[in-house]
A and B are shown apart, each in its own frame.
Chain A
Amino acid sequence: MSIWEYANPVKFMQTSGWLLPWVVGATVLTLVPGLVWGFFFTPVAAEFGATVKVIYVHVPAATLAINIWVMMLVASLIWLIRRHHVSALAAKAAAPIGMVMTLIALITGAFWGQPMWGTWWEWDPRLTSFLILFLFYLGYMALWEAIENPDTAADLTGVLCLVGSVFAVLSRYAAIFWNQGLHQGSTLSLDKEQHIADVYWQPLVLSIGGFGMLFVTLLLLRTRTEIRSRRLKALEQRERMA
């Protein structure tokens, strides 16, 4: 049994159909408690006041915004090297989810920045690289729509994804690379000395897990839709030619 069997659309539809109810269940069981815990049952922080509650939506969205692009990069490389259609369609399906996550990170960051930094926006390295990542998501989605031939679209968006990966990496490490700007370093760290107190950390990890499971759920649903859409177009074309 090889992992490449799942690149077969029929096999993917069977497996994802079986998986979906479990993934939806896991999403509900992680996302809802994570958000409720973060919103209602976390204390006010000494340094940030009640604004600490923004991290339960901001950090998971920002984490996913970067990691979804990395997932798209892997899927695009699989398409470019091995020509598996499901991987190209999975990258296409993931892009709107990543775009929404980036937008959430930007909006919630602006809401948090206003009282904390005294401004909604600053041309800080991390904020700017996130804005560029958001524009890359929009460009990626627009390119898919602009090209009629799906294989050509997958090739060109794959190349765009490679280029955009630079900004995904920059978004993650900008605060470290430049060591300047308003945005602080990572909220989560493996170093016990650095990461936030357990009372904030535990619901945050649950929220990140919930957002991650929501991404998997939406990715499976959207990839299934892309596969069906591709088949529909093929059947319509066959009917026209008959």
Chain B
Amino acid sequence: MMPEFGKYTVTILGSWGATLALLAGLILVTLMRGAKVKRALKAQEERMKTDG
């Protein structure tokens, strides 16, 4: 299934690997920060509701 890249294996796998790793990191950071802020905002709103 894996195509044969010959002498360009490092070029192709290196560039695709770096791309996919950076995109995965960006998506992960986006989702993690989104969830963290959402949780913190909910907790703050709950606290302010309880405290009046």
Contact = CB atoms under 8 A, between A and B. Distances in A.
Contacts of B3: 39-40, 50
A172 B44 CA distance: 45
Contacts of A221: 30-31, 34
A51 B23 contact: no
Contacts of A115: 7-8, 11
A224 B33 CA distance: 11
Contacts of B18: 104, 107-108, 111
Contacts of A229: 37, 41
Contacts of B41: 228-229, 231-232, 235
A218 interface: yes
Interface residues of A, number: 35
A112 interface: yes
A23 to B, nearest CB: 13
Contacts of A222: 30, 34
A146 B40 CA distance: 22
Given A50-B6, A51-B12, A108 B40 contact: no
Contacts of B22: 100, 103-104, 107
Contacts of A108: 15, 18-19
Contacts of A202: none
Interface in A51-73: 51, 53-54, 57-58, 61
A49 interface: yes
A107 B7 contact: no
A208 interface: no
A187 interface: no
A228 B38 contact: yes
Interface string B41-52: 100110110010
Q: Which 10 A-B pairs have the closest CB atoms?
A: A111-B15, A108-B15, A57-B19, A50-B5, A225-B34, A50-B8, A232-B41, A107-B18, A111-B14, A100-B26
Interface of A: 39-40, 49-51, 53-54, 57-58, 61, 96-97, 100, 103-104, 107-108, 111-112, 114-115, 214, 218, 221-222, 224-225, 228-229, 231-232, 235-236, 238-239
Given A54-B12, A221-B34, 4 more contacts: A111-B15, A115-B7, A221-B30, A229-B41
